[in-house]
Amino acid sequence: MLGILVGLKQEARLARQFFPEAKIALSHACEVGARRALLSLREAGVTELLSFGCSGALDAALPPGSVQVAEYVQVDGENYRADPALSARFGAAQAAVREGILHSPVMIGTATEKAALFSRTGCHAVDMESGLVARSGLPFAVVRVICDEAGRDLPPAAVEGLKEGRVHVPALLGSILRHPFQIGALIGLGRDAARAHKAMAQFLRGLPVAQG
């Protein structure tokens, strides 16, 4: 049985559209939530795992909408290889990126941090769930799409405006009031997120394993 670990509710909706028989759990974009979500999947009896959703680019050459089926996940300097057969089922041959993805317990918010991590690790993207999937001991694959380009600092609302795995309007408005100069960056991030969602849906439609 396939278990899918995602960060946000929008990602869960997309996964459910294409993999209706899978068990899906949300991390709510935090480390504690990711651990709870993974535990719930294991208690449900899943036998293989998919880390799915958005990621942040570390490689400046990757535009939003680039789909990655990672060959390995790097956690605390150690590489965990994805299952080759499972990765093939989820479109490794069709992915724009196949190299490593970095796990981070916190959101990477600045272009300077992203550049430093790319230089140090060689990983092309970063997310907050794949490391837990990789360390689970179960066969796993990673399918992620770049939502946040490497050369951009995340606006404060990208963190402050989230609650329970989705955009929380009061928190979002509060962040904008505190940091009004972020509005342009938020619009750009929203545009790129929509582009990434469309690219992932198109990618999944081409997979024999997908049912959506």
**What share of the chain has pLDDT > 70, as a percent?**
84
Q: Are strands 125-127 and 101-103 parallel, antiparallel or unpaired?
A: parallel
What is residue 208's predicted lDDT score, i.e. its pLDDT? 84
Residue 108 tokens read as 């990477």
Beta strands at 140-148 and 48-57: parallel, antiparallel or unpaired: parallel
pLDDT at 168: 47
CA separation for the pair 29, 171 (Å, rounded): 15
**What kind and span of H or E run contains 140?**
strand 140-148
Q: In 3-state terms, what secondary structure has residue 37?
A: helix
> H or E segment at 178?
helix 169-178
Which tens digits make up the pLDDT trace of 28-76? 888 888 999 999 999 999 999 999 999 999 999 999 999 999 999 999 9
Of 57, 22, 7, give the one whose Cα is nearest residue 166: 7
In whole angstroms, give the CA distance from residue 150 to residue 118: 9
Q: Which class does domain 2-205 fall in?
A: alpha beta
Q: What global pTM score does this model have?
A: 0.88
On the CB side of 27, how many CA atoms lie within 13 Å of its CA? Answer: 26
Q: Counting beta carbons within 10 angstroms of the beta carbon of residue 47, is it exposed (0 to 12), middle (13 to 18) or buried (19 or more)?
A: exposed
Q: Which residue has better confidence, 43 or 187?
A: 43
pLDDT tens digits, one per residue of 78-94: 999 999 999 999 999 99
pLDDT at 152: 87
